[in-house]
Amino acid sequence: MSKSRQVIVESPEAVVGKKFVTIYYMGKKYRVPAGLTVMKALEYAGYRFIRGVGCRGGFCGACSMAYRLPGDYKLRTGLACQTVVVDGMIIAQFPYTPMHKPRYRIDDMKPDAGLVIKLFPEVTRCIECNACTKACPQGLEVMDAIQTILRGDLARAADMVFDCIACGLCSLRCPAEIRHPHLFQLVRRLYGKYMAPKAKHVEERVREILEGKYDEELDKLVELAKTNVEALKKMYMEREIEK
């Protein structure tokens, strides 16, 4: 949610070149410039976001919301930083989707779909209604990923939900009450730990770091940060960048 300064801005429509629309946010009426995203429109109306905002680019999932359009019975979902205001739009924001996360130790698990389903038994209640997919602001095939998990193909499922931003909109619309964000997080973790091809060069670099190969160089950078920040900036700007 966002914190309001309790200021309703009724902007004069006499402003040259400006078109205004009416929106309703959490039951209150506001006049805001057309063409703004919901987030920018609310800030224009006097709201200062202290939560329910993050990257502003559609990747963090922090600004999930529900809304209705004039004359449309459908309850729609989206991200406030990406959805453009429409005249008569009714908006409610819920930057956090309440759901329980099961406790587990990834080191004690195996990449076994049976273990995943044991932690998330509601997956078996999926009725393939596709409401989750329709709600996804990233355009992911959420329902297909659930069915892929049920078929036991965790590697494929992890790839399908790689771009999940954990906004929780799919779970809000799911009649089976599937906790998609936590489920997909577990599937990706299992894939990354047990199934993904290992990057040998990364393993080699980690070994070198643990052996202290770069300790002296890092100590010099830390000291430089304390004594000569400008020199450190110069080193950064002139660094050799890998192609």
Place of tokens 């600004």: 63
For residues 55 and 112, give the distance between their C-alpha atoms in angstroms, rounded to a whole number: 34
- The number of folded domains in the chain is 3
CATH number for the domain that contains residue 69: 3.10.20.30
> Is residue 203 in a domain?
no
Q: Are residues 215 and 143 in the same domain?
A: no
Q: State percent of the chain over pLDDT 70.
A: 93
> Is residue 206 in a domain?
no
Nearby residues of 161 by Cβ (< 8 Å), 6 or more positions away:
140, 142, 145, 184, 187, 188
For residues 49 and 47, give the distance between their C-alpha atoms in angstroms, rounded to a whole number: 6
Convert the pLDDT of each residue in 211-226 to its tens digit: 999 999 999 999 999 9
Q: Are residues 171 and 123 in the same domain?
A: yes
> Is residue 49 in a domain?
yes
pLDDT in tens, the chain (243 residues): 444 443 344 444 444 467 999 999 988 999 999 999 999 999 999 998 888 888 888 888 889 999 999 999 999 999 999 999 999 999 998 878 889 999 999 999 999 999 999 999 999 999 999 999 999 999 999 999 999 999 999 999 999 999 999 999 999 999 999 999 999 999 999 999 999 998 899 999 999 999 999 999 999 999 999 999 999 999 899 988 876
E strand or H helix that includes residue 204: helix 200-210
Please tell me the predicted confidence (pLDDT) of residue 145: 97
Q: Are residues 111 and 188 in the same domain?
A: yes
> Is residue 138 in a domain?
yes
Q: Are residues 127 and 65 in the same domain?
A: no
> Is residue 228 in a domain?
yes
CATH number for the domain that contains residue 191: 1.10.1060.10
Please tell me the predicted confidence (pLDDT) of residue 3: 43
Q: Are residues 114 and 38 in the same domain?
A: no
Global model pTM greater than 0.85: no
Please tell me the predicted confidence (pLDDT) of residue 136: 93
Q: Are residues 39 and 117 in the same domain?
A: no
| Spatial contact of 21 and 31, defined as CB atoms under 8 Å apart | yes
Which range marks the domain in which residue 32 is found?
A: 3-93
> Is residue 202 in a domain?
no
Beta strands in the chain (DSSP E): 3-4, 20-25, 28-33, 47-48, 64-68, 76-79, 89-93
> Is residue 226 in a domain?
yes
Q: Are residues 122 and 185 in the same domain?
A: yes
Share the mean pLDDT of the chain.
89
